[in-house]
Amino acid sequence: MIPLTWYLILSGILFTIGVIGVLIRRNAIVIFMCIELMLNAVNLSFITFSRQLDSMDGQIFVFFIMTVAAAEAVVGLAIIVALFKNKATVDVDEVNLMKW
């Protein structure tokens, strides 16, 4: 069996890729995908700890995280569509209406 530490390392790699992606890309859709990637990384570590501790709570939590991720994806993509209708771009630098 694969040591559980490697699952956590993979989770860390995925989370880091997500963070870097959010920081260096200006395309709203790509930023959104990176957020999904971070949520998935957290899910993986939840399942790993659940397996390690012989507990079901982690799996229940992952279930709820997936629910929230689905809701977040729906609303976020709706926002992106509305944004594109208004500004005809998905570049987040162009969206500075609320900038002081």
Question: CB-based contacts of 13: which residues, under 8 Å, 6+ apart?
Answer: 41
Name the minimum Å distance from CB 4 to other proteins: 6
Cβ(30)–Cβ(20) below 8 Å: no
User: In the complex, which residues of this chain contact other proteins (CB under 8 A)?
Assistant: 2, 4-5, 7-10, 12-13, 15-16, 19-20, 23-27, 29, 32-33, 36, 40, 43-44, 47-57, 59-60, 62-64, 66-75, 77-86, 89-94
* For helices 28-52 and 4-24, angle between their N-to-C axes, nearest 10 degrees: 160
Q: How far is the CB of 71 from other proteins (least distance, A)?
A: 4
